[in-house]
Amino acid sequence: MDINICITGAAGDGVKEAGELCAKLFSELGYYAFVYQEYQSRIRGGHNASIVRVSDKPVHSHRKYYDLLVCLEDYVYRIHEPYVRGDIIYDTKFSCEKGGIGIPMTEIVKEANEPMIFRNAASLGAIAAYYSIDFGVLEDVFVRTFGEKAKDDVVISKAAYDHFLEHHQAKMSVERVGERREVVAGSKAIAEGLIAAGLEYYYAYPMTPASPILHYIIKKRRDIIAYQPESEIAAVNMAIGSAFAGKRSATGTSGGGFALMSESIGMAGMAEVPLLIIEAQRVGPSTGMATYHAQDDLNFVLYPSHGEFPLVVASPYTIEDAYKLSAELMNLAWKYQTPAILLTDKHLVESLQTAELHGAEIEETEIVRSSDGVMKRYELTESGVSRYAVPPAIAKFNSNEHTEYGITTDSAEVRKAMHDKRVRKEKLILEDVRGKGYVEYFKGKEAVVTWGSTFGALYEVVEELGYRLIVIRYLRPLVLPELEKAKVVECNRTGQLAGLLESRGVRVERVLKWDGRPFTPEELREVLG
């Protein structure tokens, strides 16, 4: 079984929640699910869509064409009509131009004396009936999600469910195929990965699509301090301040907010303070298309600040990998006392998927907490890594060039020695990540290389088209397999990963998309086939 359902309406119709609940409905029966969220930067009105793909095999992306369109507004129908390959379920408050299955969702909600946002519950009742799923399964999903507050959703969805079966035939019968699977958002995976690696403080100024990470930590983990300061500059400096005190911390933002953090990243590099930043890409430059997908920030993130200093940049390619890589980068930042950046994207952070989170853990590092007098915080060592000291130990941190004791200096000899010490860490970092710098799938005639969430759609078509798939995880330091040529698939206009490969002597062919939407398997089959 492989079905693709689009639920669409206006902002304020509860479309995003309906998509998540729809995925849970099928995952309750043991199916795999993937949910792609598309929405405009509006609180009310406009156009929202949640595309839910369900299969009895693992899925990592949505499909372009719909087997079922559930439509809550007439004008959004016209946006999605070209992609419909199956049936349409619509609210009878309007007439559907091409016909379909009308359900009086608005009337049902009015009779229940509830606000119109409850039409999403009615739409789920209709979906359950369309696929002949026992209503008790949907009721369990509501109760598991909302607890005692689920009562009104259950009443409204049951009314829509009964209306459907009284007036229409179910399309197909979806049976249980296994035990319930968890549906996980990318934002949750990142947050839980940070927590598994010992996160104690998280600072962020709201910016789509990174905001859900902040929201998740605030709602779910009261033992972790999550704080929204007045700006991204304050957020990154608070994260540095917490690390100075020996507390594992992180901050998250998107491109515009990351630009504001630039100077502080250099400060952390010079002062050798562990700093982890989550950079969730969206369409730029400037505000761009704030709620749409892109992989535009790679070149910027690889060189985010002035001067030379060790930096780790890595990008997760699945929701499970987002969990592991968040923890890996937190551990690397502390192990080497240097900034690290998790470069992800809107499509990964805001999508949901059936997933199991495992494989992340904290790697403890030695922290000096007492000293006899001022210690050599920046002691010259063969590895370049000095002992990390926090109060009440007496250690001086300094963003000017400094001596081993942290005292400002402009000595030519000291400058050269300290700069060499910091850069020596890059060799260790490279050796540390060499075995996990990329992953490979399939054996094929030619290599296709990608990064980030673009993996999802590629994975589905690469094997059938006879390619070898290489997914880059660590972008700085960059670790590549032996390659002479490759097709590089990414979501930006110039081919930023392709440029990196060219700098290593690889002959590349660019396969690019930059319209704010991720690739679908159908699109890739057409351009790679």
Closest CA to 200 of 233, 246, 235: 246
Distance CA 320, CA 330 (A): 16
In contact, 109 and 91? CB cutoff 8 Å:
no
Contacts for 462-471: CB closer than 8 Å, 24+ residues apart: 462/528, 464/525, 465/525, 465/528, 465/529, 467/442, 467/528, 468/440, 468/441, 468/442, 468/443, 468/444, 469/440, 469/441, 469/442, 469/444, 470/438, 470/439, 470/440, 471/317, 471/438, 471/439, 471/440, 471/441
pLDDT at residue 99, as a whole number:
85
Instruction: Examine the pLDDT at 502 and tell me if it is beyond 90.
Output: yes
For residue 89, give the 3-state DSSP assignment: strand
Instruction: Examine the pLDDT at 42 and tell me if it is beyond 90.
Output: no
pLDDT digits over 356-371, tens only? 999 999 999 999 999 9
Dihedral sign, CA of 128, 133, 134, 138? negative
- Tokens linked to 466: 């006879």
Q: How many CB atoms lie within 10 A of CB 256?
A: 16
**Residue type for position 261:** M
Distance CA 466, CA 22 (A): 34
pLDDT at residue 221, as a whole number:
75
> CA 520, 523, 527, 529: dihedral to nearest 10 degrees?
90
Contacts of 156 (CB under 8 A, 6+ apart): 108, 109, 112, 114, 118, 121, 122, 125
Higher pLDDT residue, 43 or 401? 401
Q: For the chain, how many residues are written?
A: 529
pLDDT at residue 373, as a whole number:
92
Q: Tokens 């992340």, residue?
A: 360
Instruction: Examine the pLDDT at 315 and tell me if it is beyond 80.
Output: yes
pLDDT at residue 78, as a whole number:
87
Q: What domains can you pick out in the chain, each with its CATH number?
A: 2-181 (3.40.920.10), 184-354 (3.40.50.970), 367-431 (no CATH), 438-528 (3.40.50.920)
pLDDT at residue 222, as a whole number:
77
> CA 247, 248, 254, 256: dihedral to nearest 10 degrees?
30
Strand-pair category, 468-472 with 447-451: parallel
Q: What is the mean pLDDT of residues 84-113?
A: 93
Distance CA 42, CA 13 (A): 12
Each residue of 12-47: b (16+ CB within 10 Å) or e?
ebbbbbbbbbbbbbbbbbebbbbbbbbbeeeeeebb
Contacts of 163 (CB under 8 A, 6+ apart): 103, 104, 108, 126
pLDDT digits over 461-492, tens only? 999 999 999 999 999 999 999 999 999 999 99
Radius of gyration of the chain from its Cα atoms, rounded to whole angstroms: 25
pLDDT at residue 149, as a whole number:
92
In contact, 460 and 521? CB cutoff 8 Å:
yes
In contact, 227 and 238? CB cutoff 8 Å:
yes
**Residue type for position 197:** A
Q: How many CB atoms lie within 10 A of CB 290?
A: 17
Distances (CA, A) of 503 to 203, 215, 449: 36, 39, 15
Q: What is the mean pLDDT of residues 150-160?
A: 96
Contacts for 296-300: CB closer than 8 Å, 24+ residues apart: 296/255, 296/491, 296/492, 296/493, 296/496, 296/514, 297/255, 297/258, 297/343, 298/343, 298/451, 298/475, 298/492, 298/496, 298/497, 298/500, 299/496, 299/499, 300/255, 300/258, 300/259
Query: Would you call 195 exposed, middle or buried from its count of C-beta atoms within 10 A (0-12, 13-18, 19+)?
Result: buried
Q: What percent of the chain has pLDDT over 70?
A: 100
Each residue of 75-99: b (16+ CB within 10 Å) or e?
ebbeebeebbeebbbbbebeebeee
- Tokens linked to 506: 């690889």
pLDDT digits over 254-294, tens only? 999 999 999 999 999 999 999 999 999 999 999 999 999 99
pLDDT at residue 98, as a whole number:
80
pLDDT digits over 169-225, tens only? 999 999 999 999 999 999 999 999 999 999 999 999 999 999 999 999 999 877 899
In contact, 209 and 280? CB cutoff 8 Å:
yes
Q: What is the mean pLDDT of residues 83-105?
A: 92
Backbone angles phi, psi at 49, to 5 degrees: -145, 140
Distance CA 58, CA 305 (A): 40
Distances (CA, A) of 1 to 31, 55, 363, 458: 9, 5, 42, 20
Q: How many CB atoms lie within 10 A of CB 389?
A: 24
Dihedral sign, CA of 343, 515, 499, 267? negative
